Structure 1
Amino acid sequence: MGIFKKDPLQIIAFQSYGSNTHFYARGRALEDESIDLESQKIWNLAINAFKRLESDEIANTAIKVKLPNNKIIKAKTDNDGYYIIEETIENLKSLTNTEGWLSFELSYDDVTIKRKITNNNRFPGELLIPSSKAEFGVASDIDDTILHTGVVSTLKWRVIYNSIFKNAKSRLPLEGAAEFYHMLHRGVSGENANPIFYVSHSPWNLYRYLELFLRQHKFPKGPILLRSFKEFRSRKTSDEKPQKQKEILNLLKTYPDLPFILIGDSGEHDADIYIEIAKQFPERIKAIYLRSVKHKKRMLRVKGLLEKYKTTPALLVESSKQAIEHARENRFIK
């Protein structure tokens, strides 16, 4: 109708991962609604939460990626504005920094777009290619594993409250979590650069919120792997694996020579998922750490699962200190 001004366009690149020959980038093309992730005002927090969940995607639109060596990769967004770009490219490690991060640039590649595009149509992206010094990878949950969330609260009211009425900077990490993750990242040599992957059931709409939380509380930088809001709302079939499980299995497939440590909590289904993965890859999973949550029935259920499972070291821990002690005894950390 021409009454409302249209927002400019942007491209959000999700931090992803790849290998020396596998370029794998993902993200989403959206309208730029100027979401303020740092505002503390209640009204702004509610509006920003709504904007995150009710995003306006740019569907079926051509985009392109420019690598540091000037190689161009072309792609297209899907019906929900998401893109996944996979290409076989040789010697990608030569384009990474000392931590294994490869930087690239995204842009819209559709001459018919008449809308304003922010950042002069240049959007930064990154993917991680683990260092050759890495001895293992870490796949960690986020909710109630490193971030106080309340996933076991009645009707998940704390999750709803925290997501809407708290900004990322004011959210509290679990005590000692960032220190433990940095120790795992540095490894037993202190210089291993072991990759950390953050895997959550949260929707991609919360990506920038979670990215800011991790950066603000000085967690090691790592790919953040979430799921679409459509998947978040839909029911799985009985034989369908949870998205978190699929992501971890894809990590194991991508890095066949890299063992993993799995970290989660006892609140929902991390124990079931991690034990099933460890049974499938008994030589690849070095340890499982599950943080205790304040829910007696779920705690008892998880303890029962761990008592029956003896193949991989699997610990229910009350604090980061317990996990650090075990990791040090097993020479995962210095």
Structure 2
Amino acid sequence: MSWFKKDPLQIIPFDTYGTKEHLYLKGRALEDEDIDLDKKDWFSLLLNSWKRFETDEIRKTPLLVYLPNDKVLNCTTDAEGYYLIDQTSDCLDQYIDSEGWLEYSVSYETKSKKRQIQLDNRFNGQMLIPSDNTSFGVISDIDDTILHTGVTSRLKWRVVVNTLFKTPHKRKALEGASEFYHLLHRGKSNTDANPIFYVSNSPWNLYRYLAFFLKRNNFPKGPILLRDFRTPFDRTPKMELAHKYHEIFNILKTYPKLDFILIGDCGEKDAYIYLDVVKEFPNRIAAIYLRAVEHTKRMKRVSNLFKDYNEVPVLIVEDGDEALTHARTYGFIH
């Protein structure tokens, strides 16, 4: 944010997912606050944290979306600066790469904006269309599942400290998580391209922060599905389902022929959500992995929840080797 001049405009396309016949493209138009994720001094950390949440959205503004088949789509940002393309499309499989990613770009309609626009007014995005060479999909939580966050701390003070006062360089991935996810991505044949979906209750304001963390810690690329950051004055419609339910249900409905592995932690509600998913989509969940947390009461509660459970294989993961052995036993990895 600048008090002396208006910041240039940018568009942040989120990594999304769809099918060969259905486009689902989403992103956000914002002023470019010049957030530098490489800066590590305390003042820059505080300033970057402020900028992430004090966003200047570009509302009700027309955009152009360019597809690889030379088709151009029109859309308009909403009151929070988000754009969304959710529609059927011509067959797009010939344009995806070996991992299933479809590339596109989005721009402002230059006649609608006279302010400075970053770079050449083309912002590149990607949508995942799982390739035919898949055995299953993976839906994973982020906080305390692959990233040390501290959601079980009193009043969640560790979450605040880790999010606001640590760069993504210093955030630690849980031991063995990256290796495990790559093995799941490659599957039993070691040549699969099994899709990985990252679902978190973190707000979209942290999208670039989390994307940077995942890339830096060598996690497989996948859609990062976050939630809208609502304020007490937010009048936009609320979703009928809680965020995680909504995203997980939508993924399973989008790929009805694909089974899924669910990965979360014992810290908050993942165990209960995943049990509901199994009930809603019987015979679609291949396994559930729940990372252990340092909280005696919650660990006991989750352990009792699955004490006599036999609908799908469930493992409470104390260390990475347990997960690898379990996944090999069930034929998920080579």
For Structure 1 versus Structure 2, the TM-score category normalised by the shorter chain is: over 0.9
Preserved CA contact (<8 Å) 1:181 1:219: yes
The corresponding residue for 1:64 is: 64
**1:194 aligned onto 2:194:** yes
The corresponding residue for 1:55 is: 55
Structure 1 segment 294-305 matched on structure 2, within 5 A:
294-305=294-305
Structure 1 segment 147-226 matched on structure 2, within 5 A:
147-226=147-226
1:229-279 superposed Cα distances (whole Å, 9 cap, x missing partner): 018999xxxx95320111010000000000000000000000000010011
Equivalent-residue separation in structure 2 for 1:327 and 1:190 (angstroms): 13
The corresponding residue for 1:268 is: 268
Question: What is the SS of the residue equivalent to 1:312?
Answer: coil
Equivalent-residue separation in structure 2 for 1:147 and 1:231 (angstroms): 26
Report how far residue 135 of structure 1 moved: 0.7
Extract unaligned runs of 5+ from structure 2: none
Equivalent-residue separation in structure 2 for 1:84 and 1:146 (angstroms): 28
Question: What is the SS of the residue equivalent to 2:90?
Answer: coil
Report how far residue 69 of structure 1 moved: 1.5
Give the root-mean-square deviation of aligned CA atoms: 1.6
The corresponding residue for 1:93 is: 93
Aligned pairs, number: 329
Identity across matched positions, percent: 55
Report how far residue 158 of structure 1 moved: 0.7
Paired AA for residue 60 in structure 1? K
Preserved CA contact (<8 Å) 2:68 2:95: yes
1:9-44 superposed Cα distances (whole Å, 9 cap, x missing partner): 000000000101011111100000100112110110
Report how far residue 176 of structure 1 moved: 0.2
Equivalent-residue separation in structure 2 for 1:231 and 1:150 (angstroms): 23
Report how far residue 112 of structure 1 moved: 2.9
Question: What is the SS of the residue equivalent to 1:246?
Answer: helix
Report how far residue 282 of structure 1 moved: 2.1
Equivalent-residue separation in structure 2 for 1:84 and 1:64 (angstroms): 11
Paired AA for residue 259 in structure 2? P
Taking structure 1 as the reference length, the TM-score comes to 0.96
Extract unaligned runs of 5+ from structure 1: none
Equivalent-residue separation in structure 2 for 1:3 and 1:43 (angstroms): 18
Preserved CA contact (<8 Å) 2:148 2:172: yes
Equivalent-residue separation in structure 2 for 1:240 and 1:185 (angstroms): 31
Preserved CA contact (<8 Å) 1:62 1:110: no
The corresponding residue for 2:136 is: 136
Taking structure 2 as the reference length, the TM-score comes to 0.96
